[in-house]
Amino acid sequence: MSIEISNISKTFDSFKALSNIDLKINTGELVALLGPSGSGKTTLLRIIAGLETSDAGNIIFDGEDNTEKSTQDRKVGFVFQHYALFKHMTVFENIAFGLKVRPSKLRPGKEYIEKKVHELLALVKMEELAKRYPSQLSGGQRQRIALARALAVEPKVLLLDEPFGALDAKVRKDLRRWLRKLHDEYPITSVFVTHDQEEALDVADRIVILNQGRIEQIGTPEEVYDNPANPFVYNFLGNVNLFHGRVHNGKIELGGLKLDVPENTEAGDRDVISYIRPHDIEISLEPAENGFIAAAIIFIRAVGPIVNLEMKRIDTGDYIEVEISKEIYKKLQLKEKQTVYVKPKDFKVFIPEDYII
């Protein structure tokens, strides 16, 4: 089922949670709503589910306007961050709940319910725990039961509100892989909310980046990571270094460094900020002819295949984060307090007048 979100706005007291959100989610897609806390992502999810009412706008499921429909009639599966399992019911009863509360005409028979619950338990790999109570399960197990419970009613849309937010790093990673796999096998239209960019980049087909109640960018993980629409998106998707500089006749000056920026030729002569990812910085031991920036190494973290370096620019005193491979690190034989020369391999320039940072 496709979801169309049209012109949705929501205000809590004086706080504008969402303003004029337009978004179309295609059938079978797995979409992540990504944003910092307070960006309105959970509110938007709750409005889709009918748990919250919007001040303006429409929610359309498969061409049918659902704005006025109650949560009960929307047939959505919802998974909460803190599981929201029924504590006084066993795992089996929790999963069967959605089928058992159907009006008697639509209620499936006992054998069918039993079969269905066991199917779902098999799906979440928890067959042997049917008789347990939620308090006897671990966090990861509880969330899988919550997911099985949501799937029991065969929803057309699956909504997940920070589903892995309360779990520890290892379980989180396992569960999101598992969710991805589940979605590949049963392509239910799914929307999940997260503030973890890594999670969104890892799992989603498309990412919607929200900030202060507005959509900043929509795109596939590669699109938003490689071509961020604005400084906010750039900042939010991974670590970033800020270099203050100046564009002048299609060239950018960053400290003593002059680089070509053909896309900013028409920008004229003005101050800019350029954004450089830590892994897009090249290190050299000698100052080369076209003016590398001199920086002192402050700290080295050489755990794993990627070596993180923290540096301080000698000219301005700004801090720079650099990521290099262990190979290069060993070749250069870098040490703390050593002075080296850095040069951005790839960077993005945003003219600050367009964006307030």
Sign of the CA dihedral running 227, 232, 278, 296: positive
Task: Identify which of residues 69 and 248 has a Cβ nearer to other proteins in the complex.
Answer: 69
Could you say which DSSP state residue 180 is in?
A: H
> Is residue 86 a contact point for other proteins (CB under 8 A)?
yes
Q: Which is nearer to other proteins, 133 or 225 (CB)?
A: 133
Q: Residue 78 Cβ, how far from other proteins at the closest point, in Å?
A: 4
Q: Tell me if 98 contacts other proteins by CB under 8 A.
A: yes
Interacting positions 139-198 with other proteins (CB under 8 A): 146, 149-150, 152-153
105-144 residues near other proteins, rule: CB under 8 A: 133, 135-136
- The first and second tokens of residue 348, run together, are 């993005």
- Compare residues 67 and 90 and give the one whose CB is closer to other proteins: 90
Q: Give me the least distance between CB of 14 and other proteins, in Å please.
A: 18
Under the criterion CB under 8 A, does residue 84 sit at the interface with other proteins?
A: yes
Per-residue x/- track, 28-67, other proteins (CB under 8 A) = ---------------------x-x----------------
Exposed (0-12), middle (13-18) or buried (19+): which is 75, by Cβ within 10 Å? middle
Using CB under 8 A, which of 18, 44, 76, 200 touches other proteins? Answer: 76
Q: Hey, how many other C-beta atoms are within 10 angstroms of the C-beta on 351?
A: 14
Residue partners of 136: CB distance under 8 A and separation at least 6? none
Q: Quick one: which of 14, 37, 72, 333 contacts other proteins (CB under 8 A)?
A: 72
Shortest spacing between CB 85 and other proteins, in angstroms: 8
Nearer to other proteins, 75 or 214 (CB): 75
- Pick the piece of the chain touching other proteins (CB under 8 A) from 75-83, 163-171, 226-234, 320-328: 75-83
CA distance 218 to 131: 43
**What is the C-alpha separation between 292 and 70, in angstroms, rounded?**
62
Alpha-carbon distance values, 42 to 16, 86, 193 (Å) = 14, 22, 6
What would the DSSP string read from start to end of 19-73?
EEEEEEE-TT-EEEEE--TTSSHHHHHHHHHTSS--SEEEEEETTEE-TTS-HHH
**88 near other proteins, rule: CB under 8 A:** yes
d(CA 357, CA 334): 34
Query: Phi-psi bin for 13: left (phi > 0), alpha (psi -120 to 50), beta?
Result: left
| Interface residue list for other proteins (CB under 8 A) | 49, 51, 70-72, 75-78, 80, 82, 84-90, 97-98, 101-102, 133, 135-136, 146, 149-150, 152-153
